[in-house]
Structure 1
Amino acid sequence: MMIMLGMLAVFYGIVIAILYLTQNSKQPSFDEYAVGGRSYGPWYVAMSYVNSWWPGSTFIAFFGLAAGAGVFGLYGLAYSTLGVTFMYLMASRAWRWGARYGLRTQPDLLGLRFRSPAVKLVASVIGVVSVFPWVVLGMQALGSLFEIATGGAWSLTVCLLVGLALIILRQVWTVKMGMRGLIMTDMFQGVIAYVVAAAVCVAMLAGVAGSPISFTDLSQVADSVLRVPGDGDSYGPLYLFSLIFTGVVGSLCWPMSFQRIYTASSVRSVKAGTVRTILISGVFYTLLMLVGIAGTRLADVSADPQNGWFTLLQDFGGTWMLGLGVVIVFAASMGHIDGSVQVCGLQIANDIVNSGKRRFNDHELTVIAKVSMVVFMALAGVVAYLTFSMPRLQLLAQISYQGIVQLAVPLFFGIFWRGGNKHGALAGMISGFVIAGVLTVVFPDDIAALGSLTGGIVGVVVNLIVFLVVSALTGRSVEDREHVEEMFIAAKRRPNAVVPVQTAPVMTAGEGIAG
């Protein structure tokens, strides 16, 4: 117990030391808090992106999927790789608009593109609500690792409270340093969580030092491990398609992704960063899933697949190796929760509270963001406790995708098409999100009557139809056309580096909805 807690303390101490050594002497402005001065190169962007993409629950929920259901776990590799590839394609316009108009968040972009604070508000609410399940998963990962680190000596409640306290303490520096604090620590946390984890996976699969698994086990797994949903089971033929489609589309809609675009120093940094992200993410996740699949041959892993990562490391190297596994999960959890909570606090302050007639100053926005983050984490802790024993934790992640993909229609059409208007964007998002939410409550996994499509897919189809029909019926004003044309011209301008920021036009609620 003391060895593993000591290893966690050393890791946490290094993170705090990095924050102290890299902090600025001056209190950051709210813009610095949001995007870190748009000054980071490709490796920082890449590691920050990976840290915001693979949470600590990857080693629990998704590892458990591979250890319990086999190759099905690899669906995460398909959607993550394709999603980052599409991010590469949209990076130029997103970054240039962010730099030119002083955009801080993804809803900022949508509000500007459709000239509507209402669009900005609805998009932000959808984003915050959809991120929430991921923070719950992160809190559960923290609870699990403290349970393991203490050998069960601490109760679940104490484990969750300790994890929550550490994350809240970490957020002190997030608020103080802004995005800079996240970027600087993401590099260290990412190396531990993904590079070291990949090395451990290679060692186990190579059979080093009496590893309980090896590459040989992959050729001897049961036939059931090699099947995916829809291949002779209760799922329909469209289930896997639904998961991958919502994953690819949803990966481009996460607010955390856009924050990483805005922090880059140039379009080149964003694109180079996405290439590095594919490399890091692809190697890490593939190796982790192969370890999980190989672990299906072990009775103790099959009996409790969601704790299979810890079981394998305990068998592999005893207390010290188990302690390293706990630190790896802690690093991934901290990085992902930090990024998610920071973005949600930012959007609540910048897009929801600050979207009305009153404009708050930097200090007021920072206070609002801080309070929002604390409340957000407290709620996530309560839900994490109530759902801790849920048998298929990855369903929480899948549910979150059903909501976030509803941003795809106005986001993609808004970035790549000059058509559409605020009325279509609003009606489409609201109708799609409501339908996806209702269907997900009734059918949390799949809709058998529709070939195992998920509620999110149905919501996106309705969203798209409503967006196009309402936009066609309501039309666009001359001002709307001129505004969109100016944005598309700005998206083609050079240079590819930071230019003097032109703040986005301030819109009152009345102008945005009726103008």
Structure 2
Amino acid sequence: MILAFTLAGIVLIGVLGFVGRRRPAADLAEWTVGGRKFGALTMWFLQAGEVFTTFTFLGMAGLAFSGGVAAMYALPYVPIAYVVLFFLAKRIWRMGKERGYLTQGDFLEDRYSSRALGTVSAILGVVFVLPYLQLQITGLGLIVRLVTGDRASGTLSMIAGSVLVVAFVLWAGLRGVAATSYFKDAIMLVVLVVLIIAVPAHFAGGVSGVFHKIDQLHPEKLFVHAGANDHTWFITSMLVSAIGVGLMTLPHTWPALMSARDPKVLRRNYTWMPVYELCLLLPMIIGFAAILVVPKGSDPNGVLLTLSKDALPGWVTGLVVVAATATAMVPAAGILIGISSLVARNIARVRSERTQFWINHGTVVLASALALVLGIFRPDLLANLLLLTYSGSVQLAPANLLGFLKKVPVGKAPVFAGLLAGEVVVIWLTFVDTKLVGTVNVGLVGLAVNVVVLAIAAAIERAVTRSGDVVRTGEPV
């Protein structure tokens, strides 16, 4: 029954994606940003829904199960980022409208007059976000496998989901993602409300009972303590995430923002979306309930589904699986649009718009196929790169921030120098000397080095420019 529910849900999401557009998009701008015509309601589900992925639906419960209140680092960073975007979004949208930006690479290339910077930023974006795409596809298979106990069913769901996502993305572009976002958020909220009532009531007599029992049996889970998820990790991870989201360093967030009808739509949504993000608390509470009943050492990512099976009838568990499936498929579609538009606009560099459009569509197919094949046969191959998704992409924050200013105060060389230094530090601390900075988020360390190098290089650039001006005018040095 559960597998049937899951496959029906996957097909329904695919159909909704096709309904998002009656005819295929005629050009890349229409496909990528929906003609910049989305109103407040569509933008709400499109942007707010970016936060709710398989990580937030299953991962937040798992993080609460394994780390206790340390999981709550995810609560403050999104509202903080939205406060920043409340002030920045108008500027970003207007520049995008006037200059025709579709991607982060377009923005950086134009602001720093450097095609090389646009290309490098696009390559980094693809490298850092591709593992995030694989995470959604692998998560889809994990969901079905955990509930059915059948690995073959999980693989079948991954294949079916990937094929349908590619199909509706190619047909409808961002409009397809918007159409499926309505369904995803609606069913997810319904399921989370059912879970937050049924699961704590079944195992502890209610939400208050969960925390009373944890206070008695596992009090260490109710405060941030020494270890991998200590205070330092909590604060620095929150800062890196807030900076990354607030300064638009993840490439797949750009098409959604650019698709708004006008900046008023964006500011209105950023006013209220922090309230909506409080829904992240709901899967965390399920994770706390799991502390009481799931054996220590169990797979954290599966605790929400495990408790669902124990507390709910089979058909309701099927709805939970459909909701979890939606949190994998819809974000995967948005990520594919971000990756393909970067390749078509900033990496391939072809003159013909028609060729650019076909490169874009080819990239959708290739990126999805690569993520699917690796998710089935080598799920570990991109797993390490996933560690770089946030810490690596946040190194673009200084370039983005300076580019948002009315007049860019530095040239491309200092930005390149800082970016290179930051990425080298992040890679070194992630894969080579993993204990050098303790529990400090390596993205923040890399960002500090990035800013220092950028500042020094900018000072040198100004000094060289000033000396050159003096020599040219014939004035004494």
CA distance in 1, matches of 2:196, 2:229: 33
1:293 aligns with 2:281: no
2:328 equivalent to 1:336: no
How far apart, CA to CA, are the structure 2 residues paired with 1:384 and 1:147? 14
Deviation of 1:289 after TM superposition, in Å, equals 0.7
1:140 aligned residue: 138
Between 29-38 and 158-167, the greater mean CA deviation after superposition: 158-167
For 1:18, the equivalent position in structure 2 comes to 16
2:453 matches 1:459: no
Aligned counterparts, 1:310-321, within 5 A: 310-321=305-316
In the TM superposition, what is the alpha-carbon distance from 1:290 to its structure 2 partner? Answer: 1.5
Q: What displacement does 1:380 show?
A: 2.2
- Write the deviation string for residues 211-245 of structure 1: whole angstroms up to 9, x where unpaired: 666211112211121132xx233666532222111
Contact 2:395 2:419 in 1 (8 A): yes
- What SS does the corresponding residue of 1:24 show, helix, strand or coil? coil
Cα–Cα, structure 1 residues 204 and 443, in superposed 2: closer, same or farther, change >3 Å?
farther
The corresponding residue for 1:506 is none
Distance across 2 between alignment mates of 1:218 and 1:333: 30
Alignment match, 1:260: 256
Asked if 2 retains the 8 angstrom alpha-carbon contact of 1:213 and 1:295, the reply is no
Counterpart residue type for residue 31 of structure 1: A
Q: Say if 1:301 and 1:311, in contact at 8 Å, map to a contact too.
A: no
Q: Secondary structure at the match of 2:312?
A: helix
Q: How many angstroms does 1:336 deviate by?
A: 0.9
Residue 377 of structure 1 is matched in structure 2 by 368
Measured in 1, the distance between the counterparts of 2:380 and 2:421 equals 33
Q: Distance in 1 between matches of 2:253 and 2:327?
A: 16
Q: 3-state SS of the aligned residue for 2:106?
A: helix
5+ unaligned residues in a row in structure 2: which ranges?
466-477
Question: Superposition pairs for residues 19-418 of structure 1, below 5 Å?
Answer: 19-25=17-23, 27-149=25-147, 151-155=148-152, 159-160=154-155, 162-193=157-188, 195-204=189-198, 207=201, 210=202, 214-215=206-207, 216-221=209-214, 222-228=218-224, 231-233=225-227, 238-251=232-245, 252-282=248-278, 284-300=279-295, 303-354=298-349, 358-361=350-353, 363-385=354-376, 398-416=387-405, 418=407
2:431 to 431, 435, 441: 441
User: CA, structure 1 residues 205+4, in 2 after alignment: closer, same or farther (shift >3 Å)?
Assistant: closer
Alpha-carbon distance, 1:205 to partner = 6.0
How much has 1:375 moved relative to structure 2? 2.3
Alpha-carbon distance, 1:302 to partner = 6.4
CA 102–134 in structure 1, closer or farther in 2 if over 3 Å, else same: same
Aligned to 1:497: none
Q: 1: distance between equivalents of 2:177 and 2:427?
A: 32
Q: What secondary structure sits across from 1:450 in the alignment?
A: coil
Query: Using the alignment, how far apart are the partners of 2:144 and 2:379 within structure 1?
Result: 13
The counterpart of 2:455, out of the listed 442, 450, 468, is 468
Deviations 1:381-435 (A, max 9, x none): 3443467589xx8x87553111110110110122136311111122221221122
Asked whether the equivalents of residues 24 and 171 of structure 2 are also in contact (C-alpha less than 8 Å), the reply is no
Report if aligned partners of 2:50, 2:331 keep a CA contact under 8 Å in 1: yes
Q: CA deviation at 1:300?
A: 4.6
Aligned counterpart, 1:505: none
Aligned mates of 1:327, 1:127 — CA distance in 2: 30
Alpha-carbon separation, structure 1, partners of 2:385 and 2:316: 29
Distance 2:4 2:156 in 1: 18
Distance 1:142 1:71 in 2: 26
Taking structure 1 as reference, are residues 432 and 417 closer, same or farther at Cα in structure 2, changes over 3 Å only? farther
How many residues were matched structurally?
A: 457
Per-residue Cα deviation, 1:453-509 (whole angstroms, up to 9, x for no partner): 23222211121122222223224999xxxxxxxxxxxxxxxxxxxxxxxxxxxxxxx
Residues 22 and 417 of structure 1, relative CA distance in 2, 3 Å threshold: closer
Q: What secondary structure is seen at the aligned counterpart in 2 of 1:253? A: coil
Q: 1:237 to 1:211 in 2, by over 3 A?
A: closer
Query: How has the CA–CA distance of structure 1 residues 47 and 396 changed in structure 2, closer, same or farther, with 3 Å as cutoff?
Result: farther
**How many Å separate the matches in 1 of 2:372 and 2:16?**
27
Question: Cα offset for 1:152?
Answer: 2.5
1:298 CA drift (Å): 1.0
Question: What SS is found at the alignment partner of 1:233?
Answer: coil
Aligned-pair distance for 1:116? Answer: 0.9
How big is the shift at 1:114? Answer: 0.8
**Cα distance, 1:113–1:91 mapped onto 2, change above 3 Å:** same
TM-score (norm 1): 0.82
What CA distance in whole angstroms lies between the structure 2 residues aligned with 1:140 and 1:301? Answer: 24
* Partner SS for 2:50: helix
**In structure 2, what is the equivalent of residue 492 of structure 1?**
none
**Can you list the C-alpha shifts for 1:34-53, whole angstroms capped at 9, x where unaligned?**
11011112221121123322
Structure 1: state its 5+ residue gaps.
Answer: 479-515
Amino acid at match of 2:195: C
Check whether the contact 1:300–1:311 (CA below 8 A) recurs between aligned residues: no
Whole-Å separation in 2 of the counterparts to 1:15 and 1:23? 14
Amino acid across the alignment from 1:14: L
C-alpha displacement at 1:87, in angstroms? Answer: 1.8
The one of 417, 430, 436 equivalent to 2:420 is 430
- Kept in 1: contact 2:146–2:302 (CA 8 A): no
Tell me how far apart the structure 1 counterparts of residues 411 and 17 of structure 2 sit (CA, whole Å): 43
Say if 1:36 and 1:180, in contact at 8 Å, map to a contact too: yes
Q: Could you tell me whether the CA contact under 8 Å between 1:402 and 1:437 is conserved in 2?
A: no
The question of whether the paired residues in 2 share the 8 Å contact of 1:439 and 1:455 is answered with yes
| Mapped contact 1:432–1:460 kept (Cα < 8 A) | yes
Report the Cα distance in structure 2 between the residues aligned to 1:6 and 1:19, rounded to whole angstroms. Answer: 20
- Whether contact under 8 Å (1:136, 1:381) holds in the other structure is yes
Cα distance, 1:366 vs structure 2:
2.4
